[in-house]
Each structure stands twice: as structure tokens, then as C-alpha cells.
Amino acid sequence: MIVVAALWISLLLLGGGMALDRVLSTAITRNFDESLEYVLTAMIASAEIGPNGEVLLNRPLGDQRFLEPYSGLYYQISGDGFDHFRSRSLWDRALAVAPGHADENVHVYDSKEFADAPLRVLERDLKLPGSSVVWRFQVAQSREGLNAQIATLRETLIKSFALLGIGLIALAALQTFYGLWPLRKVREAISAMRTGKASRVTEAMPNEVTPMVEELNALLEHNERQAEEARRHAGNLAHALKTPLTVIMNAATAAAPDLAESVMREATTMRRQVDHHLARARAVGRRGHAHSRAEVWPSLQAVERAVSRLYENVRLDMDGRKDLAVRVERQDLDEMLGNLIENAAKYGGGSVFVTVGADNGFVDIAIEDDGLGIPEEKRERLFQRGERLDTTKPGTGLGLAIVRDVAEIYEGSVALEESEDLGGLLVRLRLPAAG
């Protein structure tokens, strides 16, 4: 940033300095030429024709330098057939006379005809009253004074603009260091967190950096929450597997006659626990994806086709909005809907009705069956792992527990109610809507 600022400031100052030098140099040169043109006008005004047709000045020019040899200020009047009428300052020199001009305007040019000093020359061609000769009036002055003024001007400009550039670059550097200083504090805070001295960025920051710090703290909190969930899941799984493993070891040590039956029973229990925790782990891992999105209706149609093949005698009807989507991964949505609709088909009386609607930023999916229903005091038990009210049909008792855990991970919910239309159980799955 400092280098870019320095390059840009240098470029602007260089361009501005060159433009200002040109303007001021032109103004100084114009003022120099105007003083010479004044002398040229005075010389023409005092010129007259002598008795022999030569040109004369009826009064001397006022500048004393015209009388001092090689003073640097000269004049000369030239005409065909006549000697040059020169100022005494030219002494033994004469100004060069170029071919005549086609007009009577003043012409200005630089000349190097004198080796010791460059000249600035103004000249004009005209005829004087009483003469048919075209006379060339010339006034010349050494450019040394003009060049010295321009050199002083440029030296002043260079020093001033250099000082200005250094000051601007220094200010840009200070601004950059001051502006980026909060990022140094953030870096120090992150270093302190890495070494375990702090867990958050708590120091007050400028308004421009505050949103970044807030997002960083939110990310740290999210990571800590996920790490804590992972530790809790690992602890729960270890605790859940500990008892079945103990039973198997005790049966094997005692050489129990029902060892095979115990192993199968406890292995089934462990499998249920592993399936449950794997489902939670997958949902937790996918929850943080910023673009999680699933269309509800295609997922329902896929589940309907699968359930219809398993339960051919069950009638499954669906109604509601078909354009809704939820902030859930498609695999997790399929798993939740599959568990709920399969339970309705398995434990219902042969008719399942699914309704999809939207409510205040959430998508409500109501799944009703025409079964016997569940008393209100027993509904909460169904969300406990391994809990089953009907043991005559196959199952693990983890379906509703997994659905509730996955829904809560996505900030949704599951509730059990009584179906007013079909008379059986109504399961209401509520998930956050996707924009």
C-alpha cells in the first residue's frame, strides 16, 4: 500500500510540476518578450529618414545598456543599400539579418549567433514615411537573465515538490500503519488464543474491524461447540457400548450356556447405538455448510416410492406447496422423512397423509396416519433411544430419536400430536426454510 501510494503521489507531483513549470516559464518568457517589444516600439516611434535617405533616431533610447559595449542589450536597423544603424553596445558586431518577412508583425526567436551568450531577438519589417525601403528593426537581449530566472524557478519547484512528496508519502505511510494497526492487535489476539492465553478477541476494535472480529469470535464459538458435541458424542457412545461389552465379557468368562444369544442381543444393542451416533455425527458435520439446501417435494416423492415398495397395501397421499425448500442437506432430509413416513406406514391402519406448508420462516411437514394413535403421556417416551411401544413389529426404536436429534441440529423440531382427520398419530416436522 505504501509503495503504491508513493508511486501514485510521485506520478501526480511529476505531472503537476511539469505543468506548473511550463506555465510559469511561459509567463516569465512572455514578460521578458514584452519588455523587449516595448523597446522595439519606442525605437520605431523615434525613427525618421535622414537627408540622404538613411534612417536616424530623433531621440536616444533611455536604457544605458545600449551605450555599453557587449552589455547584452542591443538594437539594429537594417535596409537594402544602407549600412546597419546599430547600438553602441554591439561595438564591432552586427545582428544577423534573415530574409524579409511577408508581414509587419513582430517576430520572436532565439539566436546563437554570438558564441558567448544566446540571444532573444524581436524584429519587425516596415516602411517609414518618406522612404520606399523596407527597414528591419531588431532588438536583442542576452538570455542569461531569462535562463537564470527559469533555473531558479525550476530549482524552487523541484525542492518544493520533493518536500511535498516526502511529506505526502510519510503521511500515507503513517495512515497505512495506523489503519492496519488493529489487524496487528487481531494477530496478537489470535497468537494468544493459539498459545492458550485467551479464548476470544475481547479488545475493543475500530468500527471497520469490529465485524471481522465478531465473525472470528462466532467461528471460534462454532468450532468449540462442534468440538464439544464431538466429545459428548464420543463419551455417550463409549458409555452406551460399555454395558453391552461388559455383559458379553461376563457371559464369555462364565461360559454361560446362552452365550450366543447374549452376544446377538448385546451386539444388536451396540449396533443401534452406533447407528444413532453416526447419524448425529453426519448431521453435525454437514450443518455448518453455508449452502445447505434441499427441495421438500422431490424428497417426499423419493421417500414415497421407497415406502410404497415396502408397504404395498398402504395408501400414501401428499398435498401442499411444491416450491418449498429447507436449509438441510438432502441426505438428512431424506433420512428424517423416511423414518417418519415408514413409521406411519408400519404402525398405521393403511392410510398415510402428508401435508407441506410454510409458517414464519419455517417449513411444516405434517405426517398423519389412521392407526390407533399414542396417548399424550406416552409420546415423549418415543424420543428416547431404543424405546418402542409396539414390540410385535421389527425395528430398533431409534427412528424418532434420530429424527429429533437431526432436526434440532438444523435448528428445527419434531412434535407428536393427534390427527383430527385420520384419528391416528400426527408427526409435525418443522425445519428452517431456505431462501
Residues of 294-330 as b/e, b for ≥16 C-beta within 10 angstroms? bbbeebbeebbeebeeebeebebebebeeebbbbbbb
Per-residue pLDDT, 407 = 87
- Rounded average pLDDT over 386-399: 44
Of 198 and 21, the structure prediction assigns the larger pLDDT to 21
Q: Is the pLDDT of residue 384 over 90?
A: no
Per-residue pLDDT, 398 = 46
What is the rounded average pLDDT for all residues in the chain?
85
Give the H/E segment covering residue 426: strand 425-432
Least confident of 229-243, 346-360, 379-393: 379-393
User: Is beta strand 73-78 parallel, antiparallel or unpaired with respect to 85-86?
Assistant: antiparallel
Q: How confident is the model at residue 321 (pLDDT cuts 50, 70, 90)?
A: very high
Report the C-alpha gap between 367 and 365 in whole angstroms. Answer: 7
Per-residue pLDDT, 264 = 83
pLDDT tens by residue, 332-379: 898 889 889 998 998 888 899 999 999 889 999 999 999 888 888 777
Per-residue pLDDT, 230 = 73
Nearest to 327 by CA among 415, 432, 428: 432
Highest mean pLDDT among 115-124, 188-197, 279-288, 401-410: 115-124
Of 433 and 261, the structure prediction assigns the larger pLDDT to 433
- Centre a 10 Å sphere on the Cβ of residue 140 and count the other Cβ atoms it contains: 24
pLDDT tens by residue, 252-292: 887 778 778 878 877 877 776 677 666 666 656 555 454 67
pLDDT tens by residue, 164-193: 999 999 999 998 888 888 888 888 888 888
Sheet containing 315-320: give its strands across.
315-320, 351-359, 362-369, 425-432, 413-418
Report the C-alpha gap between 433 and 293 in whole angstroms. Answer: 9
Per-residue pLDDT, 37 = 94
Report the C-alpha gap between 241 and 239 in whole angstroms. Answer: 6
Per-residue pLDDT, 351 = 92
Q: Is the pLDDT of residue 391 over 60?
A: no
Q: Is the pLDDT of residue 403 over 90?
A: no
Q: Is the pLDDT of residue 414 over 80?
A: yes
Per-residue pLDDT, 388 = 44
Number of Cα atoms under 13 Å in the Cβ half of residue 259: 9
Q: How confident is the model at residue 89 (pLDDT cuts 50, 70, 90)?
A: very high
Report the C-alpha gap between 319 and 354 in whole angstroms. Answer: 6
Of 52 and 266, the structure prediction assigns the larger pLDDT to 52
3-state secondary structure of 331: helix
pLDDT-above-70 percentage for the chain: 90
Residues of 49-72 as b/e, b for ≥16 C-beta within 10 angstroms? eeeeeebebeeebebeebeeebbb
- Rounded average pLDDT over 207-225: 84
Of 93 and 222, the structure prediction assigns the larger pLDDT to 93
Q: Is the pLDDT of residue 219 over 60?
A: yes
